[in-house]
Amino acid sequence: MSAAIQINLPEELRAQAQRLIEEGWVADMDELVGEALRRYLESHGPTLKEAFVREDVAWGLHGEE
């Protein structure tokens, strides 16, 4: 299953991505963005989750409604 999303990229980033597509490194922008997001989530997932848990705990101990 997949979902369509719309993104805005700085022109230089878009141009770099387009060059990778034209050079045959990836089939299209969908593949490139999907792979980039997958790698980002794999590398940042544990760090982000830990930060959110720490934030929630701090709020629970000291936060105000």
| 4 found inside a domain | no
State the total domains in the chain: 1
Residues of the domain holding 37: 11-62
Render pLDDT for 32-52 as a digit per residue (tens, 0 to 9): 999 999 998 888 777 777 888
| 52 found inside a domain | yes
- Tell me, what's the pLDDT at 16? 97
Within 13 Å and on the Cβ side, how many CA atoms surround 2?
6
17, pLDDT greater than 90 = yes
Q: Directed axis angle between helix 29-62 and helix 11-22, to 10°?
A: 140
Predicted TM-score (pTM) above 0.85? no
Q: Distance (Å, rounded) from C-alpha 40 to C-alpha 8?
A: 18
- Tell me, what's the pLDDT at 37? 93
- Tell me, what's the pLDDT at 46? 74
Q: Distance (Å, rounded) from C-alpha 62 to C-alpha 19?
A: 50
